[in-house]
Amino acid sequence: MTKQPPTHALIGAALALGLGSGMAAAETATGTMLANTCAGCHGTYGNSQGPATPTISAMDPVVFVETMQYFRDDETYSTIMGRIARGYSDEELEKMAEYFHQQEFAPAKQDFDQALVDKGADLHEQYCEKCHIEGGKPVPEEEDYYILAGQWTPYLKYAMSDFRDGRRELTKKMKSKLESMLESNGEDGLAALWAYYASQQ
C-alpha cells in the first residue's frame, strides 16, 4: 500500500505554494495594474471626470511619490487618501508614478469667465510662473512641476482652502507670493487665476 503524506504536510505545502504565488504576483504587478485602482476617482489614465478630484496624468513622478508618501505618513491632510496610500509600498508608488507620468494630460472641459482670463494670465506671470512654468501646464521634460492649467476649478479652490486654513503646509516662497497677490488683488485675484487655468483647454 502506498504511504500517504500526513495531512498537516499537505496543508503546509499548499500554504507555501499559495504564499509563493502571492509574492510572485506582487513582484510582477505593473504600474498599469496598480494604477487601475485609481480610476474610480481620478478617471481613466488619470484624467479626472469629477470636479473635486485632480487629474494626475502627466504628473511629475517625483511629486507623485512624495505626495503619496506624505498622505501615507499623515504629513499631508486628506479625507481618504491617507488610508489609500498606506496600501502601497515605495516600489509600487514608483511604478504608479511612472505609469501616470507617461499618460497624456486631458484638460477639464469646464466653464470659465472669459473676461478674467487676461488678468489671470498676468497674475500667474507675476506671482506663479517661476514655480509653475508654461502657465501651469505639465512639462514632462522638467522636474518638480505641479499642474494647475486644465485642472478642475473646484479642486483648485479646495486645495487653496486647505493651504489658507492651515490643513496643508505652504512653502515659505508660496506663502510670500500668495500673501502679496492677495494684498494687491484680494479674492478677485484668485478668481482671475481660476479663470486663466480653466481656460487652458
Question: Which parts are annotated binding residues for heme c?
Answer: 38, 41-42, 81, 128, 131-132, 174
Grid cell for residue 94: 514608483
Q: Which residues are annotated as a binding site?
A: 38, 41-42, 81, 128, 131-132, 174
Alpha-carbon distance of 6 to 32, in angstroms, equals 42
Cβ neighbour number for residue 132 with a 10 Å cutoff: 19
Contact 201, 112 (CB under 8 A): no
| Residue whose cell numbers read 496624468 | 57
Rg of the chain over Cα atoms, rounded to whole angstroms, equals 22
Give the number of C-alpha atoms closer than 13 A to the C-alpha of residue 138, restricted to the C-beta side.
21
Report the candidate in 46, 191, 65 with the shortest Cα–Cα distance to residue 108. 46
Residue type, 159: A
Contact 121, 193 (CB under 8 A): no
Alpha-carbon distance of 118 to 44, in angstroms, equals 32
